[in-house]
Structure 1
Amino acid sequence: MSSERFAALLSWTGVAFVLLLCLGLSILPARAATITPVGNWVTASQDAVIQIRPCGDHLCGAIQGMVLSPTDKTPTDWVGQSQCGLVILKTSATAQPEADGTRAWYGHITNPRNGSRYHIRLTLDAQGHLLLRGYVGLPLFGRTQSWHSYQGKLGTQDCRLNNIPATVQAG
Protein backbone atom coordinates (compact mmCIF):
# COMPACT_ATOMS: atom_id res chain seq x y z
CA MET A 1 0.00 0.00 0.00
CA SER A 2 1.39 3.34 -0.99
CA SER A 3 1.94 6.02 1.62
CA GLU A 4 -0.64 8.25 -0.12
CA ARG A 5 -3.33 5.56 0.10
CA PHE A 6 -2.40 4.85 3.70
CA ALA A 7 -2.65 8.57 4.58
CA ALA A 8 -6.04 8.79 2.85
CA LEU A 9 -7.27 5.72 4.75
CA LEU A 10 -6.09 7.21 8.05
CA SER A 11 -7.79 10.47 7.19
CA TRP A 12 -11.14 8.78 6.48
CA THR A 13 -10.80 6.58 9.56
CA GLY A 14 -10.20 9.67 11.67
CA VAL A 15 -13.22 11.43 10.19
CA ALA A 16 -15.40 8.36 10.80
CA PHE A 17 -14.16 8.12 14.39
CA VAL A 18 -14.92 11.79 15.08
CA LEU A 19 -18.41 11.46 13.55
CA LEU A 20 -19.18 8.36 15.63
CA LEU A 21 -17.86 10.06 18.75
CA CYS A 22 -20.04 13.12 18.12
CA LEU A 23 -23.06 10.92 17.47
CA GLY A 24 -22.45 9.00 20.68
CA LEU A 25 -22.05 12.16 22.72
CA SER A 26 -25.17 13.70 21.23
CA ILE A 27 -27.21 10.69 22.36
CA LEU A 28 -26.06 10.94 25.99
CA PRO A 29 -27.81 14.20 26.88
CA ALA A 30 -31.01 13.03 25.21
CA ARG A 31 -30.97 9.85 27.25
CA ALA A 32 -30.18 11.72 30.47
CA ALA A 33 -33.00 14.16 29.75
CA THR A 34 -35.53 11.31 29.82
CA ILE A 35 -34.64 10.44 33.42
CA THR A 36 -37.10 12.42 35.53
CA PRO A 37 -39.15 11.94 38.68
CA VAL A 38 -42.37 12.06 36.63
CA GLY A 39 -44.48 9.01 37.49
CA ASN A 40 -46.19 7.25 40.39
CA TRP A 41 -44.18 6.72 43.58
CA VAL A 42 -44.78 4.69 46.75
CA THR A 43 -43.73 6.73 49.78
CA ALA A 44 -41.13 5.42 52.24
CA SER A 45 -43.87 4.55 54.75
CA GLN A 46 -45.52 2.46 52.00
CA ASP A 47 -48.96 3.80 52.79
CA ALA A 48 -49.44 6.25 49.92
CA VAL A 49 -48.80 6.72 46.20
CA ILE A 50 -47.77 10.16 44.98
CA GLN A 51 -48.15 10.99 41.29
CA ILE A 52 -45.55 13.47 40.05
CA ARG A 53 -46.39 15.21 36.78
CA PRO A 54 -45.68 18.48 34.98
CA CYS A 55 -47.76 21.47 36.09
CA GLY A 56 -46.87 24.66 34.28
CA ASP A 57 -43.18 25.44 34.80
CA HIS A 58 -42.93 22.97 37.68
CA LEU A 59 -43.37 19.35 38.65
CA CYS A 60 -46.18 18.72 41.12
CA GLY A 61 -46.86 15.67 43.26
CA ALA A 62 -50.38 14.82 44.36
CA ILE A 63 -51.69 12.04 46.61
CA GLN A 64 -53.37 9.55 44.26
CA GLY A 65 -53.45 6.43 46.41
CA MET A 66 -53.67 5.64 50.12
CA VAL A 67 -53.65 2.25 51.84
CA LEU A 68 -56.93 2.24 53.74
CA SER A 69 -59.06 -0.53 55.18
CA PRO A 70 -62.62 -0.78 53.83
CA THR A 71 -63.95 0.95 56.96
CA ASP A 72 -61.40 3.79 57.06
CA LYS A 73 -62.53 7.24 55.98
CA THR A 74 -60.34 9.14 53.55
CA PRO A 75 -58.00 11.30 55.67
CA THR A 76 -58.40 15.06 55.60
CA ASP A 77 -55.72 17.73 55.40
CA TRP A 78 -55.02 20.49 57.93
CA VAL A 79 -58.02 22.53 56.74
CA GLY A 80 -60.47 19.61 56.67
CA GLN A 81 -60.36 18.83 52.92
CA SER A 82 -59.82 15.32 51.56
CA GLN A 83 -56.18 14.36 51.08
CA CYS A 84 -57.16 12.53 47.87
CA GLY A 85 -55.73 14.55 44.99
CA LEU A 86 -54.01 17.02 47.33
CA VAL A 87 -50.86 18.52 45.79
CA ILE A 88 -48.16 18.14 48.45
CA LEU A 89 -44.98 18.46 46.38
CA LYS A 90 -43.75 21.12 43.97
CA THR A 91 -40.31 21.33 42.34
CA SER A 92 -38.59 23.00 39.45
CA ALA A 93 -39.32 21.24 36.16
CA THR A 94 -35.65 21.41 35.18
CA ALA A 95 -33.02 19.44 37.05
CA GLN A 96 -29.92 21.17 38.36
CA PRO A 97 -26.58 19.47 37.65
CA GLU A 98 -24.77 18.49 40.84
CA ALA A 99 -21.02 18.31 41.52
CA ASP A 100 -21.14 14.50 41.70
CA GLY A 101 -22.64 14.24 38.21
CA THR A 102 -26.21 13.59 39.34
CA ARG A 103 -29.18 15.82 38.61
CA ALA A 104 -31.48 17.21 41.29
CA TRP A 105 -34.85 18.90 41.39
CA TYR A 106 -35.41 21.45 44.19
CA GLY A 107 -38.70 22.56 45.67
CA HIS A 108 -40.92 21.95 48.68
CA ILE A 109 -43.20 19.35 50.22
CA THR A 110 -46.15 19.94 52.53
CA ASN A 111 -47.17 17.61 55.35
CA PRO A 112 -50.83 16.89 54.52
CA ARG A 113 -51.77 16.45 58.17
CA ASN A 114 -50.57 19.76 59.60
CA GLY A 115 -49.57 21.99 56.66
CA SER A 116 -45.87 22.16 57.65
CA ARG A 117 -43.72 22.91 54.63
CA TYR A 118 -40.17 21.65 54.02
CA HIS A 119 -37.55 22.21 51.35
CA ILE A 120 -36.78 19.15 49.24
CA ARG A 121 -34.12 17.87 46.90
CA LEU A 122 -35.14 15.02 44.57
CA THR A 123 -32.63 12.72 42.87
CA LEU A 124 -32.85 9.32 41.22
CA ASP A 125 -30.46 6.56 42.24
CA ALA A 126 -28.95 3.87 40.00
CA GLN A 127 -31.83 1.47 40.80
CA GLY A 128 -34.43 4.03 39.70
CA HIS A 129 -35.60 4.89 43.22
CA LEU A 130 -36.59 8.47 43.93
CA LEU A 131 -34.53 9.89 46.78
CA LEU A 132 -36.36 12.71 48.53
CA ARG A 133 -34.33 14.76 51.00
CA GLY A 134 -36.53 16.96 53.16
CA TYR A 135 -34.95 19.72 55.21
CA VAL A 136 -35.40 23.03 57.00
CA GLY A 137 -32.76 25.61 56.14
CA LEU A 138 -29.81 23.55 54.89
CA PRO A 139 -29.89 20.04 53.37
CA LEU A 140 -27.31 19.07 56.00
CA PHE A 141 -30.10 19.21 58.59
CA GLY A 142 -32.50 16.95 56.72
CA ARG A 143 -33.53 13.36 56.21
CA THR A 144 -33.63 11.28 53.02
CA GLN A 145 -36.43 8.90 52.09
CA SER A 146 -36.37 6.37 49.26
CA TRP A 147 -39.56 6.17 47.21
CA HIS A 148 -40.17 3.30 44.81
CA SER A 149 -41.89 3.31 41.44
CA TYR A 150 -45.54 2.19 41.49
CA GLN A 151 -46.95 0.41 38.45
CA GLY A 152 -50.28 -0.65 39.97
CA LYS A 153 -53.75 0.63 39.26
CA LEU A 154 -54.88 4.02 40.55
CA GLY A 155 -58.01 5.99 39.93
CA THR A 156 -60.57 5.28 42.63
CA GLN A 157 -62.54 8.36 43.59
CA ASP A 158 -61.36 8.28 47.21
CA CYS A 159 -57.74 7.22 46.40
CA ARG A 160 -58.33 3.95 48.26
CA LEU A 161 -55.76 1.18 47.87
CA ASN A 162 -56.18 -2.12 49.70
CA ASN A 163 -52.42 -2.65 49.76
CA ILE A 164 -49.16 -1.96 47.97
CA PRO A 165 -48.01 -5.03 45.99
CA ALA A 166 -45.11 -6.91 47.63
CA THR A 167 -43.00 -6.52 44.47
CA VAL A 168 -43.08 -2.76 44.98
CA GLN A 169 -42.34 -3.02 48.70
CA ALA A 170 -39.22 -5.12 48.11
CA GLY A 171 -37.98 -2.55 45.52
Structure 2
Amino acid sequence: MANSRLERIGTIFTRVEGLLRCKAMHPEDRPIWWDIYRAFPPTREPVFDRTISAVTIRPIYYKEDIIRAKYHKSGEPIGTVNLSDTKSKTNVQQLLDIHETMKNSDNENEESLYFQAMDVLKESIGVKREDWLEKASRDTETKKSFASTFAEAKKDQTDLKDIFKE
Protein backbone atom coordinates (compact mmCIF):
# COMPACT_ATOMS: atom_id res chain seq x y z
CA MET A 1 0.00 0.00 0.00
CA ALA A 2 2.98 2.29 -0.34
CA ASN A 3 2.25 5.36 -2.44
CA SER A 4 -1.50 4.89 -1.94
CA ARG A 5 -3.57 7.95 -2.73
CA LEU A 6 -6.86 6.79 -1.25
CA GLU A 7 -7.10 9.93 0.88
CA ARG A 8 -7.80 11.84 -2.33
CA ILE A 9 -10.74 9.62 -3.28
CA GLY A 10 -12.85 10.19 -0.18
CA THR A 11 -12.79 10.76 3.52
CA ILE A 12 -12.26 8.02 6.06
CA PHE A 13 -15.93 8.28 6.95
CA THR A 14 -17.12 7.69 3.38
CA ARG A 15 -14.75 4.76 2.96
CA VAL A 16 -15.94 3.09 6.19
CA GLU A 17 -19.53 3.83 5.20
CA GLY A 18 -18.92 2.11 1.86
CA LEU A 19 -17.42 -0.92 3.57
CA LEU A 20 -20.43 -1.17 5.86
CA ARG A 21 -22.90 -0.71 3.00
CA CYS A 22 -21.38 -3.48 0.84
CA LYS A 23 -20.97 -5.70 3.95
CA ALA A 24 -17.19 -5.92 3.69
CA MET A 25 -17.13 -4.78 7.31
CA HIS A 26 -19.47 -6.13 9.95
CA PRO A 27 -21.50 -3.48 11.79
CA GLU A 28 -20.07 -4.61 15.14
CA ASP A 29 -16.52 -4.06 13.77
CA ARG A 30 -17.11 -0.42 12.85
CA PRO A 31 -14.89 2.17 14.56
CA ILE A 32 -16.07 3.81 17.76
CA TRP A 33 -16.02 7.29 16.23
CA TRP A 34 -18.25 6.34 13.28
CA ASP A 35 -21.61 6.67 15.13
CA ILE A 36 -20.59 10.00 16.65
CA TYR A 37 -19.43 11.35 13.29
CA ARG A 38 -22.68 10.23 11.69
CA ALA A 39 -24.79 11.85 14.44
CA PHE A 40 -22.76 15.09 14.49
CA PRO A 41 -21.19 15.66 11.07
CA PRO A 42 -18.76 18.57 10.67
CA THR A 43 -20.00 21.78 9.05
CA ARG A 44 -17.32 21.53 6.37
CA GLU A 45 -16.28 18.18 4.93
CA PRO A 46 -12.65 17.32 5.81
CA VAL A 47 -11.31 16.70 2.33
CA PHE A 48 -7.70 16.27 1.23
CA ASP A 49 -7.28 19.36 -0.91
CA ARG A 50 -8.98 21.91 1.37
CA THR A 51 -6.76 24.90 2.12
CA ILE A 52 -5.96 25.77 5.69
CA SER A 53 -7.41 29.05 6.88
CA ALA A 54 -4.94 31.70 7.96
CA VAL A 55 -5.11 31.49 11.74
CA THR A 56 -2.27 32.89 13.73
CA ILE A 57 -1.33 30.70 16.63
CA ARG A 58 0.09 32.59 19.52
CA PRO A 59 3.08 30.88 21.14
CA ILE A 60 2.48 30.09 24.78
CA TYR A 61 5.50 30.17 27.06
CA TYR A 62 5.56 29.80 30.79
CA LYS A 63 8.26 31.12 33.08
CA GLU A 64 9.35 27.56 33.82
CA ASP A 65 9.91 26.81 30.12
CA ILE A 66 13.04 28.97 30.05
CA ILE A 67 14.54 27.04 32.97
CA ARG A 68 13.55 23.71 31.41
CA ALA A 69 15.15 24.72 28.10
CA LYS A 70 18.39 25.74 29.85
CA TYR A 71 18.46 22.44 31.72
CA HIS A 72 17.98 20.33 28.60
CA LYS A 73 20.51 22.38 26.60
CA SER A 74 23.12 21.91 29.32
CA GLY A 75 23.20 18.18 28.64
CA GLU A 76 22.58 17.18 32.23
CA PRO A 77 21.14 13.68 32.66
CA ILE A 78 17.37 13.59 32.88
CA GLY A 79 17.42 10.51 35.05
CA THR A 80 15.13 7.54 35.10
CA VAL A 81 11.46 8.47 35.20
CA ASN A 82 8.80 6.10 36.51
CA LEU A 83 5.56 7.35 35.00
CA SER A 84 3.39 5.38 37.42
CA ASP A 85 5.09 6.99 40.44
CA THR A 86 3.28 10.25 41.12
CA LYS A 87 4.97 10.94 44.46
CA SER A 88 8.60 11.36 43.39
CA LYS A 89 9.68 14.27 41.22
CA THR A 90 11.93 14.28 38.18
CA ASN A 91 15.22 16.17 38.14
CA VAL A 92 13.66 19.02 36.16
CA GLN A 93 10.76 19.34 38.60
CA GLN A 94 13.20 19.36 41.50
CA LEU A 95 15.23 22.08 39.75
CA LEU A 96 12.08 24.16 39.23
CA ASP A 97 11.14 23.83 42.90
CA ILE A 98 14.64 24.79 44.04
CA HIS A 99 14.71 27.72 41.62
CA GLU A 100 11.32 28.95 42.84
CA THR A 101 12.32 28.84 46.51
CA MET A 102 15.60 30.60 45.79
CA LYS A 103 13.78 33.20 43.69
CA ASN A 104 11.42 34.01 46.55
CA SER A 105 14.27 34.44 49.03
CA ASP A 106 16.80 36.34 46.89
CA ASN A 107 16.27 38.86 44.11
CA GLU A 108 19.33 38.14 41.98
CA ASN A 109 19.59 37.96 38.24
CA GLU A 110 18.14 34.88 36.57
CA GLU A 111 21.42 33.50 35.24
CA SER A 112 23.19 33.26 38.59
CA LEU A 113 20.00 32.03 40.24
CA TYR A 114 19.78 29.20 37.70
CA PHE A 115 23.39 28.11 38.32
CA GLN A 116 22.89 28.19 42.09
CA ALA A 117 19.79 26.05 41.74
CA MET A 118 21.75 23.63 39.52
CA ASP A 119 24.46 23.34 42.18
CA VAL A 120 21.88 22.54 44.85
CA LEU A 121 20.24 19.98 42.56
CA LYS A 122 23.59 18.32 41.78
CA GLU A 123 24.32 18.03 45.49
CA SER A 124 20.96 16.39 46.17
CA ILE A 125 21.38 14.03 43.21
CA GLY A 126 24.94 13.25 44.30
CA VAL A 127 23.66 11.73 47.53
CA LYS A 128 21.27 9.57 45.54
CA ARG A 129 24.06 8.50 43.17
CA GLU A 130 26.18 7.34 46.12
CA ASP A 131 23.26 5.22 47.34
CA TRP A 132 22.90 3.85 43.82
CA LEU A 133 26.61 2.98 43.61
CA GLU A 134 26.39 1.14 46.92
CA LYS A 135 23.40 -0.84 45.65
CA ALA A 136 25.18 -1.56 42.37
CA SER A 137 28.20 -2.97 44.22
CA ARG A 138 25.87 -5.26 46.18
CA ASP A 139 24.26 -6.34 42.90
CA THR A 140 27.64 -7.21 41.37
CA GLU A 141 28.41 -9.44 44.38
CA THR A 142 25.06 -11.16 43.86
CA LYS A 143 25.79 -11.60 40.17
CA LYS A 144 29.19 -13.14 40.98
CA SER A 145 27.60 -15.65 43.34
CA PHE A 146 25.01 -16.56 40.68
CA ALA A 147 27.77 -16.93 38.09
CA SER A 148 29.76 -19.28 40.30
CA THR A 149 26.64 -21.35 41.04
CA PHE A 150 25.84 -21.51 37.33
CA ALA A 151 29.42 -22.58 36.50
CA GLU A 152 29.23 -25.43 39.06
CA ALA A 153 25.88 -26.57 37.64
CA LYS A 154 27.32 -26.48 34.13
CA LYS A 155 30.21 -28.74 35.17
CA ASP A 156 27.75 -31.35 36.39
CA GLN A 157 25.90 -31.46 33.06
CA THR A 158 27.03 -33.92 30.43
CA ASP A 159 27.89 -32.66 26.99
CA LEU A 160 26.07 -34.10 23.97
CA LYS A 161 29.40 -34.55 22.19
CA ASP A 162 30.53 -36.87 24.97
CA ILE A 163 27.41 -39.02 24.62
CA PHE A 164 28.09 -39.92 20.99
CA LYS A 165 31.83 -40.57 21.37
CA GLU A 166 31.28 -44.23 22.22
Q: TM-score range by the shorter chain?
A: under 0.3
Higher RCO (CA-CA < 8 Å; seq separation 6+): 1
Higher helix share goes to which structure? 2
Bigger radius of gyration: 2
TM-score (norm 1): 0.20
Higher strand share goes to which structure? 1
TM-score (norm 2): 0.21
